[in-house]
Amino acid sequence: MSAANGAAPTPGWYGAEPSDTQPDDPYSGYRELRETQPVNITPEGQWRLSRYEDVRRLLRGHWAGMRQTNGLLPGQVEDEPGRGLFMLLQDPPTHTRLRKLVSKAFTPRAIESWHPRIEAITNELLDKVAARGEMDLVRDLARPVPATLICEMLGIPPSDQEEFTNWTADATHGLLTLRGIGDEALQERVEAAASNLIGYFNALIEERRKNLGDDLLSALISAEEEGDKLSPLELLSNSVGLLIAGFETTIGLIGNGLTTLIQHPAELARLREHPEWIDSAVEECLRYSGPILVSVRVLHEAQRFGGYEIPKDSEVLAMLAAANRDPEVFEDPERFDVSRYAAGRGAVPDHLSFGGGAHLCLGAHLARLESQIAIGALVRRFDELELLNERTEWGRSIFRVPGRIPIRFVDARA
pLDDT at 226: 63
CA 126/CA 71 separation, integer angstroms: 48
Tell me if 237 is assigned to some domain: yes
Tell me if 62 is assigned to some domain: yes
Q: What is the pTM of this model?
A: 0.91
CATH of residue 258: 1.10.630.10
Tell me if 126 is assigned to some domain: yes
Tell me if 3 is assigned to some domain: no
Tell me if 11 is assigned to some domain: no
pLDDT at 414: 72
pLDDT at 372: 98
What b-and-e string marks burial along 84-96, b requiring 16 or more CB atoms within 10 Å of the CB?
Answer: bbbbbbbbeeebe
pLDDT at 83: 63
Find the domain containing 208 and state its range: 27-411
Tell me if 9 is assigned to some domain: no
Give pLDDT < 50 ranges for the chain. Answer: 1-4, 6
pLDDT at 80: 66
pLDDT at 47: 97
pLDDT at 239: 81
Tell me if 95 is assigned to some domain: yes
pLDDT at 365: 95
Tell me if 10 is assigned to some domain: no
R_g of the chain, CA atoms, integer Å:
21
pLDDT at 82: 60
pLDDT at 4: 46
The 10s digit of each residue's pLDDT in 228-285 is 778 888 888 888 778 777 788 999 999 999 999 999 999 999 999 999 999 999 999 9
Q: Please tell me the total count of domains within the chain.
A: 1
